[in-house]
Amino acid sequence: MSSSYRFETRAIHHGQEPDQATGAVIVPIYQTSTYAQEAPGIHKGYEYARTGNPTRAALERCLASLEEGAFGLAFSSGMAAITAVSYLLSPGDHVLAPNDVYGGTYRYFVRVLGRYGVETSFVDMTDLDQLEEAFTPSTRLVLVETPTNPYLKILDIQAIAEIAHRRGALVAVDNTFATPYFQKPLLLGADLVVHSTTKYLGGHSDVVGGAVITSNVDLYETLKFHQNAVGAVPGPFDCWLVLRGVKTLAIRMERHQANASQVAAFLRSHPRVERVYYPGLPDHPGYEVARRQMSGFGGMVSFRVKGGKEAARRVASQTRIILLAESLGGVESLIDHPASMTHASLEGTPLQVEEDLLRLSVGIEHPEDLIEDLEQALMG
């Protein structure tokens, strides 16, 4: 399909042409582990399912198109995608990452990758001077999360990419929160885009997956080699579920954002809320950067509750429609207490999350029902 088609059309059709054998309009689930060969080494493009699968290939082509990239690779989880990017590094290399980052990312880079001689520094990337000062002669990768998790800071991708490239480092952007519907890091200078397809791309809380997209053929070939060599690949049904979810990504993201904007405005005016973090609020420190590099502000809202840890845990436990659960990006709203859930691995580190913080993944229910639910939980 031509790249001239608009996002919504490509999400439904790119890489998903009708099946040549049957005319099926939905990509089949090729539930096979191996493929018959015409002669030794002579086949129809597929030999073993870890190396390649037609359902997975359709997803990879679609995601690459949506991110305005040339190549896509699918993985078994978002962390498997992050891990694949780390295979571009060698012992002695240095990584820069935000000081507000998903707990699992911190855990991997410090407690796993650190054992193999790769050092990671966590800095406030909203301060470009601080970022510049953090570079060392061995810095090879700048990992960006924007909006960040869980404080929803906005990082200037274009400015960071210019600094990193001047220093000879690659830039990888975790675009999970924004999705390619609201933000396209490759067009802003990033070398790689990473996703947890578990979240908004899948969109229905029924699949775990990840992806890496790039326009650099050398990076793609290296990552493709490791995808096959390491084998952290998704099954065909998982790929099919993400493809199904992507078809409605555009309309879902519009509703997620509309609801999140109303929820953020409600929380901002509530007497029992200390502070609200949402990049769509004009007083958010990253509001102007978000307006420049994003076409929408997303569906994630974080807020701090007056009364400290116990008050926050009480609110999280008393919502009725909004489910107390980890993850995000599904059609249903979720509430998370990061300090004891998604970011518990940061306890005792410089990145430890405040105990009074709650994170909302605002779903696509009626916004008034969500607001009434939060009201009763806050006042309960």
The answer to whether residue 49 scores a pLDDT higher than 90 is yes
220 is known as an active-site residue: no
Averaged pLDDT, 362-378: 98
**183 and 267, same domain (yes or no):** no
Task: Give the pLDDT score at 61.
Answer: 98
**Residue range 295-321: average pLDDT?**
98
213 and 276, same domain (yes or no) = no
What is the Cα–Cα distance from 1 to 4, expressed in whole angstroms?
8
pLDDT of the residue at 109 = 97
Model pLDDT for residues 6-34, shown as the tens digit of each residue: 999 999 999 999 998 899 999 999 999 99
Same domain flag for 283 and 241: no
Do 273 and 210 sit in the same domain of this protein? no
Last residue within a domain, chosen from 196, 223, 246: 246
Whether 296 and 211 map to the same domain: the answer is no
> Cα 50–53–57 angle (5° rounding)?
120
Of 100, 156, 174, 356, the catalytic one is 174
In a domain, 296, yes or no: yes
Determine, yes or no, domain membership for 45.
yes
Where residue 287 falls among pLDDT bands split at 50, 70, 90?
Answer: very high
| Domain with 353 in it | 249-379
Among candidate residues 5, 35, 46, 50, the one labeled active-site is 50
pLDDT over 90 (residue 41): no
d(CA 157, CA 173): 8
- Split at pLDDT 50, 70, 90, the class of 342 is very high
Using N-to-C axis directions, what is the helix angle for 367-379 and 249-268, rounded to 10°?
A: 40
Q: How confident is the model at residue 4 (pLDDT cuts 50, 70, 90)?
A: confident
Residues 161-183: tens digit of each pLDDT: 999 999 999 999 999 999 999 99
- Is-catalytic flag, 224? no
Residue 258 covered by a domain: yes
Residues 168 and 257 in one domain: no
Instruction: Quote the crossing angle between the two packed helices 236-246 and 54-66, to the nearest 10°.
Output: 30
Same domain, yes or no: 354 and 343: yes
2, pLDDT greater than 70: no
Note whether residue 2 is domain-resident: no
Q: How many domains does the chain have?
A: 2
Query: What CATH number has the domain bearing residue 76?
Result: 3.40.640.10
68 plus 201 within the same structural domain = yes
- Full DSSP string of 28-80: -----SB---SBTTB-SS-SBTTT--HHHHHHHHHHHHHTT-SEEEEESSHHH
Residue 295 forms part of a structural domain: yes
Task: Check whether residue 214 and residue 109 sit in a common domain.
Answer: yes
> Is 1 inside a domain boundary?
no
Task: For residues 126-130, give the mean pLDDT.
Answer: 98
CATH of the domain at 272: 3.90.1150.10
Last residue of a domain, which of 225, 246, 267?
246
Check 10, 61, 102, 278 and give the catalytic one. Answer: 102
Q: Are residues 42 and 181 in the same domain?
A: yes
Write down the catalytic residue from 153, 199, 252, 359.
199
Burial of 230 (0-12, 13-18, 19+ CB in 10 A): middle
pLDDT over 80 (residue 1): no
Query: Is 102 tagged catalytic?
Result: yes
Residue 135 predicted with pLDDT over 80: yes
Beta-carbon-side half-sphere exposure of residue 122 (alpha carbons within 13 Å): 18
For residue 335, which phi and psi values (nearest 5 degrees)? -120, 140
Check if the beta carbon of residue 30 is closer than 8 Å to that of residue 23: no
50 noted as active-site residue? yes
Three-state DSSP class for residue 192: strand
Residue 350 tokens read as 């410089």
- On whether both 242 and 357 belong to a single domain, the answer is no
Give per-residue pLDDT as tens, 181-193.
999 999 999 999 9
d(CA 185, CA 188): 5
Domain membership of residue 278 (yes or no) is: yes
Structure tokens at 259: 């609801």
| C-alpha–C-alpha distance, residues 296 and 291, integer Å | 8
Domain boundary among 229, 246, 263: 246
What's the mean pLDDT when you consider all of the chain?
Answer: 97
Share of the chain above pLDDT 90, in %: 97
Contact 177, 46 (CB under 8 A): no
Together in a domain, 79 and 39: yes
